[in-house]
Structure 1
Amino acid sequence: MVNLEFIALLLMLGSFVGIMAGLLGIGGGLIVVPALMFLLPMAGIDAGISMQIALATSLASIIVTSGSSAYNHFKLGNVDMFVVKWLMPGVVIGGFLGANVAEWIPSQYLPKVFGFIVLCLAIQMLFSIRGKNQRTMPGSGVTMAIGTGIGMISSLAGIGGGSLSVPFLNRHGIEMRKAVGSSSVCGSFIAISGLAGFILHGYNVESLPNYSLGYVYLPALFGIACTSMLTTRIGAKWATRLPTSTLKKIFALFLVFVAGTMLL
């Protein structure tokens, strides 16, 4: 049962997610998924399918949030087209595979593995703040393969992949602002491919609430999307104005928080 309090909380969630998406290049799934797990019972949704609905709805909202963030970053010149060209095919394949693998992997194991990976990335980014990165981007084939892994993990966790792709790109010589902007572009395509899998798997589930498209809960999607696509421009402007070292610190601290939440 959708009520005004539920809608108001979704609008507030979308506003915060949009700013973080523009600032850090994340799709917002790391915020949306746990938030929806808390909010969905307010709408009377069965706890047995709430995780699938949270993941699918998160991916659907990421299409809007990352797409809006990518558009704003593209206007600001913060997108590296080589990265997009070779990382995107891999993340699309991985995103669709992740949605299918989600049917087979026990969900209680994924947060621990993902949390450990994110913690390692956070530590690496903190160490890289003072030094100049000497690595260069790998070849197109390796980049595509890494993109497949990023897409699969992201789809399984209901996220846009920025927590993985931004540190990877920055470690391999992509300037922080362009890593954030390029990640936003790839994140929207991860979400599209992962979402397709969740819609197919949820198509014939009988216990879905009204106003659902597969596992996607449309009232939650619209509530998050209508404010997030407006606030991404704020985050994108902040990302352009902040010094690279400050942006790295913010991102690293965000990753530590996410890793700690998932590990605990």
Structure 2
Amino acid sequence: MLIVLVMFALGLLLGFIGAGGAGVVIAVLTVVFGIPIHTALGTSLSAMIFTMISGAYSHFREGNVVVKNGIAIGIFGAIGAFIGAQIAAGLPAKELKWMTACMLLLSALLLFLRIFFANKGIFSRSESEEGPVGISFWLTASGLGLVTGVLSGTFGIGATPFIQIGLLIFFHMSIHQSAGTTMLVILPIALLGGLGYLTAGHLDVLLLFKVTTGLIVGAYIGAKFTRRLDPFILKISMVAVPIFGGLLLLFGR
């Protein structure tokens, strides 16, 4: 029951920021509840299937989802996620733990730069500009999908910040659209990534049920606040979540 309650609390936050939250879920399962890292990776990534259905639907109802972009990127991301899961299965637990932590901290840094230095360098492209079209759209979608999919499958983190940054930079979405569309992108990524961990024997069905029960309810409710709270709170939360997960993995027991 404790796992369910903790996951519900995390779900509220993750639904609000439009994050799959696999990284912070992995950190909590591994450090707080003592779950082996490979099992935590497979379980948390699989749990995102159900969390994303709930969260993406809620964001769609709120008008935060660009459906075409989400589906296109998600298809290529799913392919990358299955490949990444096979890579993770061959990595030792200790190395996988700190690599996942480093990826979370890197993602937080990239999000911080994009959100708070929006008018600098590569981040200066306005969200009012049109995104890529035609062949350029498919090349961009496939590239973003494959890269983030491999990251998701290998480290089980969902690659939420990387997807959001890609949507913000290359598809010129608003902060709200990037949050909602990311949930749709992660859905097929979680599906094939979870399948990859299942075939590798790193999936705990009972743990999956507990994690999913808490996250799915929390994510649906949390998504209701994305447009209702100050955008500054959303920005701070998007950066803080991966930092928390990374530090927990690095310095937790």
**Coarse TM-score class (shorter-chain normalised):** 0.7 to 0.9
Distance in 1, Cα, partners of 2:232 & 2:119:
8
**What residue is the counterpart of 1:84 in the other structure?**
70
How far the C-alpha of 1:175 sits from its partner, in A, is: 0.9
**Higher relative contact order (CA closer than 8 Å, sequence separation 6+):** 2
CA distance in structure 2 between the partners assigned to 1:64 and 1:115 by the alignment: 22
Contact 2:85–2:196 (CA under 8 A) maintained in structure 1: yes
Matched position secondary structure for 2:89:
coil
Q: CA offset at residue 83 of structure 1?
A: 1.6
The residue number in structure 2 matching 1:128 is 117
List gaps (5 residues or longer) in structure 2. none
Cα distance, 1:237–1:130 mapped onto 2, change above 3 Å: farther
The match for 1:212 is none
| Percent of pairs with identical residues | 25
Q: Structure 1: how far apart are the matches of 2:158 and 2:79?
A: 14
Larger radius of gyration: 1
Asked whether the 8 Å contact 1:60–1:221 carries over to 2, the reply is: yes
Contact 1:87 1:186 in 2 (8 A): yes
**TM-score w.r.t. structure 2 length?**
0.83
Partners of 1:70 and 1:151 lie apart in 2 by 18
The structural deviation recorded for 1:39 is: 5.1
Cα distance change on mapping 1:233 and 1:143 into 2, 3 Å: same
2:59 is matched with which residue?
73
Counterpart of 2:62, as a letter, is L
Cα separation, 2, equivalents of 1:249 and 1:88 = 26
What's the counterpart of residue 46 of structure 2? 60
Residue 225, structure 1, aligned to residue 218, structure 2: no
Residues 102-111 or 189-198, more deviating: 102-111
SS at match of 1:78: coil
Q: 2:26 aligns with which of 21, 27, 33?
A: 33
TM-score (norm 1): 0.80
Pick the structure with more helix per residue. Answer: 2
Cα distance, 1:219–1:112 mapped onto 2, change above 3 Å = closer
Tell me if the contact between 1:118 and 1:164 (Cα under 8 Å) persists in the aligned partners: yes
How many Å apart are 1:261 and its aligned residue?
Answer: 4.5
Q: Report the CA distance between 1:262 and its aligned residue.
A: 5.3
Structure-1 separation of matches of 2:218 and 2:60: 16
Aligned to 1:152: 150
Structure 1 unaligned residues grouped into runs of 5+: 1-7, 203-214
- The change in CA–CA distance for 1:17 and 1:119 in structure 2 (over 3 A counts) is closer
Deviation at 1:129, TM superposition (A): 5.5
Corresponding position of 1:100 = 86
Q: Give the alignment's Cα RMSD to 1 decimal.
A: 2.4
Q: Which residue of 1 aligns with 2:11?
A: 18
Instruction: Classify the secondary structure of the residue corresponding to 2:139.
Output: helix
Change in 2 beyond 3 A, CA 1:222/1:106:
closer
Conserved 8 A contact 2:18-2:182 = yes
| Number of corresponding residues | 238
Supply the AA of the counterpart residue of 1:219.
L
How far apart are residue 130 of structure 1 and its match? 7.2
- Confirm or deny: 8 A CA contact 1:62 1:188 kept in the other structure: yes
Indicate how the Cα distance of structure 1 residues 235 and 24 shifts in structure 2: closer, same or farther if over 3 A, else same.
Answer: same
- Give the partner amino acid of 1:117: L
Q: Structure 2 counterpart of 1:181, which letter?
A: G
Does residue 166 of structure 1 match 2:164?
A: yes
